[in-house]
Amino acid sequence: MLLAELVVPRRMDAAEVIGAGLEIAALGMGHRSIAAVLGRADATVRGWIRRFKVRAEDVRRHFTVVLVAVADDPVMPDAEGTPLADAVAAVVAAHRAATTGWPGMLTVSRWEFAGRVLGGRLLTSPSIAS
């Protein structure tokens, strides 16, 4: 069964829920507040954020390459101030470029898109899927 874009391996939550938590973390909110907003355990959200921080620079680079590959005239995201926020901005920018080039992608959320691009490895490994 192919669910890479919907689920994150070894996680109980959908990529969309984890992505929402990462987007909120990119805004500077702490894991306890995010957990309350999403109705998840503090430790769960803290784990997502810690795991993503380990991968943030690789994710940022990977999605910057994706952005350049799919956009006719790529607009690079501004530096957001933290590696986590920069990585989230790169995912958002690459997804925006993909939906501009392929309107059918509008039915795929940015975190489902990220799951597809990374083969479901949003949080599982420090190396980007090839």
Report which of residues 121 and 58 the model is more confident about: 58
Phi, psi for residue 70 in degrees, rounded to 5: -100, -15
The pLDDT of residue 125: 60
Mean pLDDT of the chain: 84
**Segments making up each domain of the chain, as ranges:** 15-117
Residues paired with 50 in a beta bridge = none
pLDDT 10s digits, 34-47 = 999 999 999 999 99
Instruction: Show contacts of 39-44: CB within 8 Å, 24+ apart.
Output: 40/13, 44/12, 44/13
Q: What tokens appear for 123 in the block?
A: 């949080």
Residue type, 37: V
Report which of residues 24 and 118 the model is more confident about: 24
pLDDT 10s digits, 67-77 = 999 898 888 98
Residue 3 has pLDDT above 70, yes or no: no
The pLDDT of residue 130: 45
The pLDDT of residue 116: 80
The pLDDT of residue 40: 94
pLDDT 10s digits, 83-128 = 999 999 999 999 999 988 777 776 778 888 888 888 766 676 645 5
Q: What's the pLDDT band for 14 if we cut at 50, 70, 90? A: confident
| CA-CA-CA-CA torsion sign (102, 103, 105, 106) | positive
